Amino acid sequence: LVWTPLPTTDIILTQSPKSQSVSPGETVSISCSTSASVSSYLNWYLQKPGESPKLLVYYATNRQQGIPDRFSGSGSGSQFTLTISGIQGEDTGDYYCQQSLLNDFVSLWLTFGGGTRLDVGSDVRPTLTVLPPSSVELQQGKATLMCLANKGFPSGWSLNWKVDGVSTTREVTGSPGVLDKNGLYSWSSTLTLPVDQWKKVGSVTCEANQGSQAPLSETLRRDHCSE
């Protein structure tokens, strides 16, 4: 006899919001909708930086043993919600819903939602450092400057460049924020110029922006760099 699994339909999970920055003590809700009913076969996980996913809630409403009671789950059928009441800094991380109704028949990647990033904390302005191009690179005909933004919050800080006070986006690359275990982010951005242009530059500025906060900037003067 050959065992054949029952036909199944892929169930797609959609989470909202994709990301949110909140202050400690607030109440936050994450929604998860499924493209077909999964009854109560819906679980919630939290993944912190550098750690494996941790089960918070199973079967939609049951809190896993050892999970604080500020976490609660609700819903059934195709609409589910994870609520965190009085959120704390340690709750920063990526939250995922998972349907387990069809785990015996479909690959695991089909059973998870896309994730929700929660940033919990107060606004922190990052520290900016602008690094000059290396002498070896200058000999190769180009000049790459790097801007490092360390230990800021929330994750929405963006880095921009100005050459002699004029904004530029040419030959600019950036990295997404990297979250550390203290709940703070670090970013980097590079600006590459032809060496001939670099030799005519007076100053280069890296500027960090986030929401309604005042911009933060760090300027490097070329005449302060060793050639």
pLDDT at residue 209, rounded to an integer: 93
Question: What CATH code would you report for 127-224?
Answer: 2.60.40.10
β 42-47/166-168 pair status:
unpaired
pLDDT digits (tens, 9 = 90+) for 38-90: 999 999 999 988 899 999 999 999 999 999 999 999 999 999 999 999 999 88
Residue 17 reports pLDDT greater than 60: yes
pLDDT digits (tens, 9 = 90+) for 137-180: 999 999 999 999 999 988 889 999 999 999 988 889 898 888 88
Question: What CATH code would you report for 13-120?
Answer: 2.60.40.10
> Is 127-224 in the same CATH topology as 13-120?
yes
Mean pLDDT of 17-28: 93
Residue 181 reports pLDDT greater than 90: no
Domain-wise residue ranges, the chain = 13-120, 127-224
pLDDT at residue 106, rounded to an integer: 54
Are the C-beta atoms of residues 147 and 205 closer than 8 Å to each other? no
